[in-house]
Amino acid sequence: MTISKLTTVSAGLAFMFLACDAHTLIGMVPDGSAPDDGAPHRDVLAPDVPVGTEGHTCTPVTFPGDAPYTLPAGVAGTWTGYFQGGSPVPTSDVIKFSIQQLADGSGEVRVTIGTAAPPPPAASATDYYPPGVPTDVTFRIPTLIEGVSYLAHAVTWQGTRLKFLLSEAQPWESWCALQSSYFVADQSRYNCIPGFGGGWSFPPVDAGGEPSCTASDVQGTKQTPVSCPQLSQCNGQFCTCDSCGCAAAAAVASSFDVTFDADLVTGVGDGHNVRLTRNAN
């Protein structure tokens, strides 16, 4: 996993640049309403794109290691329990597995942490997601969120031992779908801001107001105003973009390794011990 380096540059107001190795920026500031029209190597936002008509990548995002699998006998059902000695979310240690056999005979495992409702779909491309996240301009990467039904990826069964990964960016699918994609020429890849770096400036303490953010090359010579949430999350590992649009990335994952023994499941999830029991039907 590659994370951009953080460099501090002083020039009047303080700017901090997430220094990726992008040198050429093209594209105009996204208005946050719809993705672009998929034209590669473009340097303007196409004016003829109907709002909300795209919002996806050209092909579905695939998680490394995904493949159909079948369930061992006796594991299908709902299992609930708790994390021991800590939890991936600060508000609850509850965990639930929902394991089912699909109509085509393959299996599906879903994991929910906590008891809260999942966050609603994103409504704005230029706000932080999920709602209620503290406003800041620090570099961010996805983390597990309470209430989300995570689909297990890279699932392997070794007898009754189950190993899988959860894509931590999954909850940002609706936010990524609102973004415009921008081609960064020297990287031959896309991002949801025009570049793979950026910076922010703060008003004087006695002036009040909000910080302002820009997408930028690593030298700081080309700066394009963007919303601070987009700078933070587009430079994180929330979205992946191509010439059609953006979708939730498959880059940051939490690993689980558990074993089923009759009506008990024990093991490790996201670095914490877990214990679950089968729900009564």
Q: How does pLDDT run across 131-174, given as a tens digit for each residue?
A: 876 556 566 788 899 999 999 999 999 999 999 999 999 999 99
Is 230:27 a contact under the CB 8 Å cutoff?
Answer: no
Cis upstream peptide for 225 (omega within 30°): no
Report the C-alpha gap between 253 and 238 in whole angstroms: 11
Distance CA 139, CA 152 (A): 26
User: What size, in residues, is the chain?
Assistant: 281
Over residues 214-237, the pLDDT tens digits come to: 887 655 667 788 888 898 898 888
pLDDT tier, 183 (very low <50, low <70, confident <90, very high otherwise): confident
Residue 36: is its pLDDT beyond 50?
no
pLDDT for position 194:
83
Structure pTM?
Answer: 0.78
Contact 32, 52 (CB under 8 A): no
Q: Distance (Å, rounded) from C-alpha 130 to C-alpha 269?
A: 23
- DSSP one-letter code for 40: T
Determine the Cα–Cα distance for residues 147 and 14; give it in Å rounded to an integer: 38
What is the identity of the amino acid at 180? S
- C-alpha span between 37 and 26 (Å, rounded): 15
99 DSSP assignment: E
Residue 274, pLDDT > 90, answer yes
Q: State pLDDT tens for residues 83-123.
A: 998 999 999 999 999 999 999 999 999 999 999 999 999 99
